[in-house]
Amino acid sequence: MSKLDAIIEEFQDLDARDRLELLLDFAEKLAELPAAYEAERDAGLHRVPECMTPTFLWVECISGRVSIHAYVAPEAPTVKGFVSILVEAFNGTRPDEVATVPTDLLHRLGLAELLGMNRLRGLNAVQQRLKNEIGKASVLAVKG
Amino acid sequence: MTEFVHPEVLVSCDWVEQNRSQTDSIRIVESDEDILLYEQGHIAGAVKLDWTTDLQDAVVRDYVSQARFEELCAERGISNETIVVFYGDKNNWWACYAFWVFKLFGHEKCLIMNGSRKKWELDKRPMTREASKYPRGIYKAKEPNNSIRAFRDEVLAHMQARKPLVDVRSPGEYTGEMLHMPDYPQEGALRAGHIPGAVNVPWSRACNDDGTFKSRDQLEQLYLVEQQLKPSDEVIAYCRIGERSSLTWYVLTYLLGFSKVKNYDGSWTEWGNLVGAPIEKTYAYKK
């Protein structure tokens, strides 16, 4: 079972209130952005423009493995939690595994019903961004 | 400084801190864009109310029924006579939206905490993670009060009669340069621009950086002087889904004393998708 499947299973076993608590746990364990990336963030680079809250993703492919760094503004714990799930699921995996992220991930996690229609788009954009970036990064890695 | 026209519907963070323990008569309600903020920490004693999963019907694009509204109030220990104080993230957008929905169902005593969650946090006031539970309230909702809610046919007639329309979105959305709020991509509208004749006063111009409302003098300058609106005018405010415009509705109605303001909750996600709806687009691509 992949790490993502394990996380999905963990969410699916919970009721709505506990799913929020688990998402909050994820939000709180998102690693701090390493200092080396701060200048790029402050210059507005690597921002996910679809997200209303300042959200930044660095997706790299190092020695054939995915490496993700992220920064999400503290006033948006929901986005932070979701990004943290993606980091947990894909940091260190092979790039082709990222392509398997289901497009309905938020539904599978049982979060879609808690978010409601209006909030889904920004979060979907985060996972799309991850897929696109890893596509680019792995192409660069092969070329390089 | 001149007092607001209806100062009784606005309270400070200090007031909330001093009065929050009077849970028999007062209920503090947090309403946010972010679904985890309440869990991350809230004002002790506050209950959570989600603008989408609690206030909107899950199937039809509309608000919940009277019966459902009664239940969601009762569950939170809110009765008809309870003083409900709303606050939330994003400069109180969702707090004003919830306030507006409560008014739609005829709730009498609604207040907004000036400064929103932002000021409370800036002041480093205490927050808790403990969810609050109260004995059930007894609630009887009134028939929806549509004198504060505009529907599309009415908006069309209002536009044709050249009555004032206030578009509170960002300038880029208003001119038609972009279809959505900066950072809210493709939020469901097929056409960009604004309702013909609408003026553009972005909601944010009514707020200070710390989340509080601007003073009455500053607000009068904005709406009465710059836009030449009169408190006796019939005004319809709209945005994308009716949340930012509920803040403007609140400002015009209570802080400036306009008596005939409606919020068009269908807003651009309805108008920008309606077949044949007239649209004015002032943005032209530069060649």
Average of pLDDT values for A29-53? 90
Angle between helices A3-12 and A16-29 (to 10 degrees): 140
Which residues of chain A make contact with B173, given a CB cutoff of 8 A?
A: none
- Percent of chain B with pLDDT strictly greater than 70: 95
Q: For B141-181, what is each residue's pLDDT tens digit?
A: 999 999 999 999 999 999 999 999 999 998 988 999 876 55
Chain A and chain B share a number of CB contacts under 8 A equal to 58
pLDDT beyond 60 at B185: no
Alpha-carbon span B244 to B251, nearest angstrom: 11
**Residue B186: other Cβ atoms inside 10 A:** 11
Contact in structure between A111 and B69 (CB atoms under 8 Å): no
- Give the nearest partner residue to B183 out of A49, A78, A116, using CB atoms: A49
Partner-chain contact B50 A51, CB within 8 Å = no
Q: Specify which residues B43 forms β-bridges with.
A: none
Q: Fill in the DSSP letter of residue B84.
A: E
Q: How far off is chain A from B233, nearest CA to CA, in Å? A: 32
pLDDT of residue A100: 85
Single-letter amino acid code for the residue at A33: L
Q: How far is CA A84 from CA A19, A80, B212, in A?
A: 14, 6, 32
Q: How far off is chain A from B84, nearest CA to CA, in Å? A: 24
**Tokens found for residue B34:** 């972010």
pLDDT of residue A84: 96
**Tokens found for residue B114:** 């000036």
A118 part of contact set with chain B, CB < 8 Å = yes
Grouping H, G, I as helix, E, B as strand and the rest as coil, residue A67 is strand
Partner-chain contact A118 B52, CB within 8 Å = yes
pLDDT beyond 60 at A142: no
ipTM of the complex: 0.84
> B103 CB contacts (<8 Å, ≥6 apart)?
B110, B145, B148
**Residue carrying the six token digits 């596509």:** A135
Exposed (0-12), middle (13-18) or buried (19+): which is A104, by Cβ within 10 Å? Answer: exposed
**What DSSP string describes B146-202?**
GGGB--HHHHHHHHHTT--EEE-S-HHHHHTS-SSSTT-TT-S-SS-SB-TT-EE--
- pTM assigned to the model: 0.91
Q: For residues B8 and A99, which has the higher predicted lDDT (pLDDT)?
A: B8
Q: For B65-117, what is each residue's pLDDT tens digit?
A: 999 999 999 999 999 999 999 999 999 999 999 999 999 999 999 999 999 99
Average of pLDDT values for B24-33? 97
Which residues of chain B make contact with A76, given a CB cutoff of 8 A?
A: 34
pLDDT of residue B253: 98
Backbone φ and ψ for B193, nearest 5 degrees, come out as 135, -155
pLDDT of residue A132: 86
Alpha-carbon span B178 to B272, nearest angstrom: 12
Alpha-carbon span A55 to A126, nearest angstrom: 9
pLDDT of residue B187: 54
- Give the nearest partner residue to B36 out of A50, A51, A78, using CB atoms: A78
> A32 CB contacts (<8 Å, ≥6 apart)?
none
pLDDT of residue A122: 75
pLDDT beyond 80 at B39: yes
Q: What is the distance of C-alpha A19 from the center of its chain? A: 17
pLDDT beyond 50 at B258: yes
* Run of H or E residues at A66: strand A65-72
Q: Is B207 a catalytic residue?
A: no
Contact in structure between B225 and B242 (CB atoms under 8 Å): no
pLDDT of residue A51: 73
B282 part of contact set with chain A, CB < 8 Å = no
Contact in structure between B200 and B244 (CB atoms under 8 Å): no
pLDDT of residue B181: 53
Side-chain-side CA neighbours of residue B195 (13 Å): 33
Exposed (0-12), middle (13-18) or buried (19+): which is B66, by Cβ within 10 Å? Answer: middle
Q: For B206-250, what is each residue's pLDDT tens digit?
A: 999 999 999 999 999 999 999 999 999 999 999 999 999 999 999
> B32 CB contacts (<8 Å, ≥6 apart)?
B38, B50, B88, B89, B90, B94, B117
* Run of H or E residues at B110: strand B110-113
Tell me whether strands B234-238 and B260-263 are parallel, antiparallel or unpaired.
Answer: parallel
Q: For B42-59, what is each residue's pLDDT tens digit?
A: 999 999 999 889 999 989
Single-letter amino acid code for the residue at B92: N
CA dihedral (A14, A17, A18, A19) in degrees, to 10, reads 70
Which residues of chain A make contact with B186, given a CB cutoff of 8 A?
A: 121
Question: How far separated are the first and last CA of chain A, in Å rounded?
Answer: 32
pLDDT beyond 70 at B286: no
Q: For B234-246, what is each residue's pLDDT tens digit?
A: 999 999 999 999 9
A81 part of contact set with chain B, CB < 8 Å = yes
Which residues of chain B make contact with A52, given a CB cutoff of 8 A?
A: 33, 181, 183-184
Partner-chain contact A121 B185, CB within 8 Å = yes
pLDDT beyond 60 at B186: no
pLDDT of residue A144: 44
* Run of H or E residues at B86: strand B83-87
